[in-house]
Structure 1
Amino acid sequence: MKNNNFKQLLLGIVIGISIAFLTMDIYVRINPTAPAPSNNNLIHKNVTIVENSISEAIEEIYDAVVFINNYSGNSIVSTGTGFVYKADNKYAYLLTNHHVVENSTRIEIINSDREKADAYLLGSDKYADIAVLRVSKNAVKKVAKLGNLENNNIGDTVFTVGSPMGIEFFGTITKGVISGKERFVDTDEITMRVIQTDAAINPGNSGGPLVNIMGEVIGVNTLKFVKAEVEGMGFAIPIDDAMKYAEKLEKGEKIVRPLLGVTLVDIENLFYSPQLKIDKNIKSGAVINNVYDNTPASRAGLKTNDIIIKVNEIEVPNIAYLRYTLYQYNIGDTITLTIIRDGKEIQKQVKLDMALD
């Protein structure tokens, strides 16, 4: 009796093991992606690499780009790139850099069909490095689509269209990513907001478009802010800012920036100005080092050691951001500055009635 029970138990074990192996084999066959049993539990995955192409985006912008010759007398003194940002029934309007067309006696554009036309300079601003040109509508082939910086992020693919080294390399494409969105650089007494990119911006690319993968212009390339010893760091003026300047320059108006009338020190640089006495717990803001007489700042009652932290509720963590924010206002505007004085926040109304020379 005992032998029969033992045989039945042994038979049951054998059948159970066989069913287990059969089940595993069926599962693997039905699910070929299922991991095969192994001692180290390795999992293998199929990876598909897709090549990203910007060819469609290039088609959107390519024929809106022009090559620019800057003449002094009969000689070409500089060259660059520009692009058509709008057109009406008679004229087309182009953006480029101020330094591309500076001191010109004649400006010539060449489109993607190598057709030449004279351009008229409507206005330019050396501080912003922006210039607006006008040509006959028949001289251009396409109008660029304009985007905005806000809808683009760090790491997004961008490319430039330009003519490095001259007309023989017209329409050269260089590709990269947005490396930084809210960069501020100081030049010629003003502060500019710029887009940082690792797309190559070479001589001849100045004034050309920085374009996203939708084929929209998001910036105007400029070499003005680039240091020769730094590689892989290019800059473009955000199209949002460029168009604010273009609206005035197009009408022949001069860009006038308001003067506050102070000298400033960043919180992080206070060790250079030991005479300023600031609470060590304050980590950001622009400290007033000196207030000039008969200026908007003096008339508003600003004082040495005041720390400016806001302009009309916009936080200003440092001097660069303060200047950039200030230059968004017009002569005659009144702004509210939030300052810290003797450990307390107070507000001062400042009428911007003087212009930066």
Structure 2
Amino acid sequence: MRKWWLTLFFLLFMVIVAGCDAMQQPRPYVPKADMQSEAALVMQGKLMETREVIREAAIGVEAVVFRSGFLRAPLTQTGSGYVFYEDENYYYALTNHHVVDRGSHPRAEYTVTLFYRDGANPSVSAELLFKDDAYDLAVLRFAKGTHTIPVRDISTRLNAPLKAGEMLLAVGNPSGINMIVTFGEFLSITTIESVAFPVIFHSVMIFSGHSGGALTDLDGNLVGINAWGNSTDNSSGLAVPLAKIMEFLENHDFIVNYFETTHTDENEMSLHPD
């Protein structure tokens, strides 16, 4: 009888020890490289998602300037634009002043090109509503017709300053290649010659033809309009900050229903490190 109890006690002891060992087993080791690969895949997915979002409101802009003088051929200027507002009959798009400016020439005609995922690229006649060389900004409008363009609230980042190293995306139509999206980082708020206000300095690759296109955050929210590239290389660019875009619109009495009547103070657009 005593032997039987000893045997039972020994078996229970082994079960308890085995259970404790099982609970103390370490989690499977995940190599650091695999964790980094997973994070990279998540970021890649986010970039692809945002790329499609910002493409939806991006347009191509063409200005045909009829020059003064006998038998002088028209001058064609091209760039990019970003649809930021709509009403019952029209879409409204931001672009750069230097893309649409006709200078001292008598007239210009404007056309915008829309880009759809099915490959259709219809061109639509547009009207220049107002422009301002001091901001290097302009607003075009064009008839909605049967076209459908998703319009996002551009005021989302108005009171959320950019942070050092924050990822940014740019969309534009450089060298006749449509809907190119590039990405990089916010570097700083800086000043440049001939511009009276601080501008966004970033490491997003900018090419000729990006002028007037949107600069957005990783969620596709507008933070600026690209206006100037680097004269020595394409690895950085400069953009008009969102606060100045809003100021430009207000100066021309263009206040739409989702805009706040006050905008971020310029000092709040300074560099904010993490």
| Alignment match, 2:87 | 88
- Which gives a bigger RCO, structure 1 or 2 (Cα 8 Å, sep 6+)? 2
Which residue identity lines up with residue 157 of structure 1 in the other structure? M
Q: Is the 8 A contact 2:243 2:266 kept in 1?
A: no
| Alignment match, 2:31 | 46
Q: Distance in 2 between the 1:83 and 1:237 partners?
A: 13
Q: Is the 8 A contact 2:207 2:234 kept in 1?
A: no
Which residue identity lines up with residue 183 of structure 1 in the other structure? T
Structure ID, larger Rg: 1
Q: Deviations over 1:158-186 (max 9, x none)?
A: 111110102xx110110111111x32223
Q: Is the 8 A contact 1:131 1:246 kept in 2?
A: no
State yes or no: 1:131 paired with 2:138: yes
Q: Deviations over 1:215-251 (max 9, x none)?
A: 111110012xx44125522111112211220233365
Q: Specify which of 109, 118, 136 is matched with residue 112 of structure 2.
A: 109
State yes or no: 1:198 paired with 2:203: yes
Q: Specify which of 180, 186, 194 is matched with residue 178 of structure 1.
A: 186
Q: Deviations over 1:142-169 (max 9, x none)?
A: 2234232542312111111110102xx1
Structure 1 residues not aligned, in runs of 5+:
1-22, 35-43, 252-313, 322-357
**CA displacement at 1:28 relative to structure 2:** 10
| Alignment match, 2:12 | none
Q: Deviations over 1:41-78 (max 9, x none)?
A: xxx87320222121222232212110011102374521
Q: Distance in 2 between the 1:248 and 1:315 partners?
A: 16
**CA displacement at 1:214 relative to structure 2:** 1.0
Q: Distance in 2 between the 1:71 and 1:98 partners?
A: 14
State yes or no: 1:148 paired with 2:141: no
Which residue identity lines up with residue 228 of structure 1 in the other structure? S
State yes or no: 1:66 paired with 2:86: no
Residues 200-215 of structure 1 correspond to what in structure 2 (within 5 A)? Answer: 200-215=205-220
Cα pair distance change 1:315/1:205, threshold 3 Å: closer
Which residue identity lines up with residue 157 of structure 2 in the other structure? N
| Alignment match, 1:285 | none
Q: Distance in 1 between the 2:98 and 2:74 partners?
A: 17
Q: Is the 8 A contact 2:83 2:93 kept in 1?
A: yes
Q: Is the 8 A contact 1:123 1:133 kept in 2?
A: yes
Q: Deviations over 1:102-135 (max 9, x none)?
A: 1061010000131111111111111210001111
**CA displacement at 1:207 relative to structure 2:** 0.3
Give the alignment's TM-score, normalised by structure 1: 0.54
CA RMSD, aligned part only?
2.8
Q: Distance in 1 between the 2:78 and 2:165 partners?
A: 30
Identity within the alignment, %: 26
Cα pair distance change 1:91/1:82, threshold 3 Å: same
Count of matched residue pairs? 215
Structure 2 residues not aligned, in runs of 5+:
1-16, 67-72, 255-264
Which residue identity lines up with residue 102 of structure 1 in the other structure? D
Q: Specify which of 238, 244, 248 is matched with residue 251 of structure 2.
A: 248
Q: Distance in 1 between the 2:191 and 2:137 partners?
A: 17
Q: Is the 8 A contact 1:145 1:215 kept in 2?
A: no
| Alignment match, 2:78 | 79
State yes or no: 1:120 paired with 2:119: no
Q: Distance in 2 between the 1:218 and 1:110 partners?
A: 23
Cα pair distance change 1:141/1:242, threshold 3 Å: same
